[in-house]
C-alpha cells in the first residue's frame, strides 16, 4: 500500500514522501532504509504481463503508471491480432517471443475466459512476383517455428474467401484476434493477487543510480513529488522508453535507443460489408517496409476495419487524417473489390515506438539488463512495437529470467 506524507512547509511544490504500509509513521525514506525489490514503469500490456509473471516471487513489486487507468496508450491502439511469427528475422527476439507468445496467449485465453478467436489469416498475392515473396515468407515462418503455414492456389482462395481477389495466398491458421483489454485486466488481477501494487497517476520524473539499485522520483497530479528506492527497475514505458533510459543516464544516441514515432491509422468499413470475409486478409508486405501493409482487421464483435498505414511523425497526435481515405481505398481495392469508397470512415490511430527510422533496416526488440552500461538491475525494453501484444506473456517470462540473474 502507498502511504504518503506531505511536507506542508512548501505549499506550491509539495514534497510527498513515499512510505510503504509497514513503515507508516517514519518521516524519511532513508531513515527507514526501505527498498522495493522491483519497480516497473508503465502499465501497458507489457508492464502488466511482467508484473503478473513475477508477482508472488518477490516481496515488493510496484507498477507505476502515469495515466489513471492501465492500457491507455499503445496497448489500446492496435489491430488486436495474435500474430503467428511469420515476418520476423530468424533468431530475432521478435520471432522467438512472438511464436512463444502466440501459444501462451491462446492457453491463457482458453484457461481464463479471455475473449479470442483463432480466425486464421491469408496473405494474398496479386501477381507472380508476390507469389515468390509468399514462398519466402512461408520458409521464414517455418524456420521461426510457425505451424500450419500453407500456400494455397487461386481456386482454394476462392473457396475459403469468395470475396477476396488474388492469384495465390499464404494461409496462417494460428493467427487470431484477442480482447486486449480483458488480457490486461487478467494480468493486472494476477499481479495484484501475487501482492504487486499498481499505482496510477504516478509519472516517473527522476532516476538516480545508487550503489545497489535506483532512487526513483515520481510526480503525482503534476505537482506532488516523492522518491523511493528500488533494487531492480524495469522500463516498460512504451513511447517514452527512450526518455526513461535517458533519465537513468544512458546516452540513447550512442546506444541506438532513440525512438521514431510511426503512426498507424484505421478506417472502419461500414454499409454491412463486414460479413464478407471470415479471416484476416493481408497484402504481401513491402520489402524493408515499416508495417505489414494496410489489411483487413476484424474485432470480436465482427466489425471490419482497414489499417494501419505507416507515417513517421514528430509528435503524439492520434487524430486520423480523413484525406488518407483515398490511399486506403486504393491500396485495398485490388484484393478486396467489394469495398467502395463511401464504405470507409476514419476510426482511430496508434503510434508505433519504432527503433527503425525511415528507410532504415528492420530493428529487433531491445530487452536487456544494462549492467554493461554501468547500470546493473536496470532492465530496458525499447522499441516494443508489433508483435508486442502477442509476445507480451513471452516477454514477461524472458524478463523474469533476467531478474533471476540479478537477484
Ligand atoms: C497501429 C498499431 C498496431 C498494432 N497491432 C498489433 C497487433 O495486431 N498485434 C500485436 O501483437 N501487436 C500490435 N501492436 C503493438 C502493440 O500494441 C504494442 O507492442 C504493445 O501494446 C506495447 O505495450 P507496452 O506495454 O510496451 O506499451 P504501452 O501500451 O505504450 O504502455 C506504456 C505505458 O507506460 C506509461 N508511461 C510512459 N512514461 C511513463 C512515466 N514517465 N511514468 C509512468 N508511466 C509512464 C504510459 O502511460 C503507458 O501506459 C500494434 C501497435 C500499433 C501502434
Round the average pLDDT of the chain to a whole number and report it: 90
Phi (first) and psi of residue 125, to 5 degrees: -95, 140
Residues 243 and 374 in one domain: yes
Choice from 50, 380, 388, 399 to test ligand 1 binding pocket (greatest atom count within 8 A of CB): 388
Residue at 272 is within a domain: yes
Choice from 74, 176, 198, 244 to test ligand 1 binding pocket (greatest atom count within 8 A of CB): 74
- Where does a domain end: 336, 354, 372? 354
Residue at 110 is within a domain: no
Can you give the CATH number for the domain in which 271 is found? 3.30.9.10
Which of the four pLDDT bands, split at 50, 70 and 90, describes residue 6?
A: very low
Q: What pLDDT, on a 0 to 100 scale, did the predictor assign at position 240?
A: 98
The count of domains in the chain is: 2
Of the candidates 177, 205, 200, 178, the residue with the CA atom closest to the CA atom of residue 188? 200
Q: What pLDDT, on a 0 to 100 scale, did the predictor assign at position 170?
A: 98
Q: What is the position in ligand 1's atom list of the atom closest to the CA of 42?
A: 34
Q: What pLDDT, on a 0 to 100 scale, did the predictor assign at position 313?
A: 98
Q: Residues with Cβ within 6 A of ligand 1?
A: 41-47, 64-67, 72-75, 77-81, 83, 202-204, 236-240, 244, 264, 308, 350-352, 384-390
Residues 276 and 328 in one domain: yes
Q: What pLDDT, on a 0 to 100 scale, did the predictor assign at position 287?
A: 67
Residues 161 and 265 in one domain: yes
Residue at 88 is within a domain: no
Of the candidates 68, 62, 71, the residue with the CA atom closest to the CA atom of residue 43? 71
Spatial contact of 61 and 84, defined as CB atoms under 8 Å apart: no
Q: What is the position in ligand 1's atom list of the atom closest to the CA of 387?
A: 11
Residues 290 and 230 in one domain: no
Residue at 397 is within a domain: yes
Residue at 98 is within a domain: no
Predicted confidence (pLDDT) at residue 18 exceeds the cutoff of 50: no
Alpha-carbon 398 to chain mean position: 15
Can you give the CATH number for the domain in which 243 is found? 3.50.50.60
The model's pLDDT over 258-309, given as tens digits with 9 standing for 90+, comes to 999 999 999 999 999 999 999 999 999 876 666 677 889 899 999 999 999 9
The region of weakest confidence among 13-27, 181-195, 203-217, 357-371 is 13-27
Residues 24 and 140 in one domain: no
State mean pLDDT over 84-93: 96
Q: What pLDDT, on a 0 to 100 scale, did the predictor assign at position 221?
A: 75
- What distance in angstroms lies between residue 386's CA and the mean position of ligand 1's atoms? 9
Residues 146 and 264 in one domain: yes
Residues 155 and 276 in one domain: yes
Choice from 117, 238, 259, 299 to test ligand 1 binding pocket (greatest atom count within 8 A of CB): 238
Residues 169 and 267 in one domain: yes
Which of the four pLDDT bands, split at 50, 70 and 90, describes residue 346?
A: very high
Which of the four pLDDT bands, split at 50, 70 and 90, describes residue 26?
A: very low
Residues 70 and 145 in one domain: no
Q: For residue 210, how many other CB atoms are within 10 A of its CB? A: 12
State mean pLDDT over 189-201: 96
Residues 188 and 303 in one domain: no
pTM, to two decimals: 0.92
- What distance in angstroms lies between residue 72's CA and the mean position of ligand 1's atoms? 9
Q: Which domain holds residue 232?
A: 2-74+182-257+364-406
Residue at 81 is within a domain: no
- What distance in angstroms lies between residue 396's CA and the mean position of ligand 1's atoms? 14
Residue at 309 is within a domain: yes
- Where does a domain end: 354, 378, 397? 354
- What distance in angstroms lies between residue 74's CA and the mean position of ligand 1's atoms? 3
SS3 of residue 256 by DSSP: coil
- Where does a domain end: 354, 377, 398? 354
Residues 203 and 339 in one domain: no
Residue at 86 is within a domain: no
Q: What is the position in ligand 1's atom list of the atom closest to the CA of 264?
A: 1
Of the candidates 316, 72, 318, the residue with the CA atom closest to the CA atom of residue 308? 318
Please spell the DSSP secondary structure of 145-213, one letter per residue. T--S-EEEEHHHHHHH-TT---SEEEEETT-EEE-HHHHHHHHHHHHHHTT-EEESSEEEEEEEEETTE
Q: What pLDDT, on a 0 to 100 scale, did the predictor assign at position 96?
A: 98
Choice from 39, 40, 42 to test ligand 1 binding pocket (greatest atom count within 8 A of CB): 42
Residues 315 and 220 in one domain: no
Where do we find the cell 527503425?
A: 356
Amino acid at each position: 500500500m502507498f502511504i504518503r506524507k506531505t511536507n506542508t512547509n512548501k505549499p506550491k511544490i509539495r514534497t510527498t514522501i513515499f512510505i510503504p504500509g509497514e513503515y507508516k509513521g517514519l518521516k524519511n525514506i532513508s531513515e527507514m532504509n526501505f527498498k522495493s525489490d522491483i519497480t516497473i514503469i508503465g502499465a501497458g500490456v507489457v508492464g502488466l504481463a511482467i508484473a503478473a509473471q513475477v508477482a508472488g516471487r518477490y516481496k515488493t513489486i510496484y507498477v507505476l503508471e502515469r495515466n489513471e487507468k492501465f492500457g491507455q496508450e499503445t496497448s489500446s491502439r492496435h489491430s488486436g491480432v495474435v500474430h503467428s511469427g511469420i515476418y520476423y528475422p530468424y533468431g530475432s527476439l521478435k520471432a522467438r517471443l512472438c511464436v512463444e507468445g502466440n501459444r501462451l496467449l491462446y492457453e491463457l485465453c482458453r484457461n481464463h475466459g479471455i475473449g479470442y478467436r483463432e480466425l486464421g489469416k491469408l496473405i494474398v498475392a496479386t501477381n507472380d512476383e508476390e507469389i515468390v515473396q509468399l514462398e519466402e515468407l512461408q520458409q521464414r515462418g517455418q524456420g521461426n517455428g510457425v505451424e500450419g503455414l500453407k500456400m494455397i492456389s487461386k481456386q482454394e482462395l476462392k473457396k475459403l474467401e469468395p470475396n477476396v481477389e488474388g492469384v495465390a495466398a499464404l494461409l496462417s491458421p494460428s493467427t487470431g484476434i484477442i480482447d486486449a483489454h480483458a488480457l490486461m485486466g487478467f494480468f493486472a488481477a494476477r499481479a495484484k493477487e501475487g501482492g504487486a501494487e499498481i499505482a496510477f497517476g504516478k509519472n516517473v520524473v527522476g532516476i538516480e543510480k545508487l550503489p545497489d539499485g535506483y532512487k526513483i522520483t515520481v510526480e503525482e497530479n503534476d505537482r506532488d513529488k516523492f522518491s523511493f528506492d528500488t533494487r531492480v527497475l524495469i522500463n516498460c514505458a512504451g513511447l517514452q522508453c527512450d526518455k526513461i533510459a535517458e533519465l537513468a543516464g544512458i546516452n540513447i544516441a550512442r546506444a541506438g535507443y532513440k525512438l521514431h514515432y510511426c503512426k498507424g491509422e484505421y478506417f472502419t468499413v461500414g454499409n454491412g460489408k463486414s460479413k464478407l470475409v471470415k479471416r484476416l486478409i493481408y497484402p504481401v508486405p513491402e520489402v524493408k517496409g515499416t508495417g505489414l501493409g494496410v489489411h483487413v482487421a476484424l474485432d470480436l464483435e465482427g466489425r471490419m476495419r482497414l489499417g494501419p498505414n505507416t507515417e513517421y511523425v514528430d509528435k503524439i497526435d492520434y487524430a486520423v487524417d480523413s484525406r488518407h481515405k483515398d490511399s486506403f481505398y486504393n491500396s485495398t481495392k485490388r484484393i478486396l473489390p467489394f469495398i467502395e469508397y463511401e464504405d470507409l470512415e476514419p476510426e482511430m490511430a496508434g503510434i508505433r515506438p519504432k527503433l527503425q527510422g525511415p528507410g532504415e533496416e528492420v530493428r529487433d526488440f531491445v530487452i536487456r539488463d544494462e549492467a554493461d552500461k554501468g547500470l546493473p538491475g536496470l532492465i530496458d525494453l525499447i522499441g516494443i512495437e508489433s508483435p508486442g501484444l502477442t509476445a507480451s506473456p513471452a516477454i514477461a517470462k524472458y524478463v523474469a529470467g533476467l531478474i533471476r540473474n540479478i537477484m
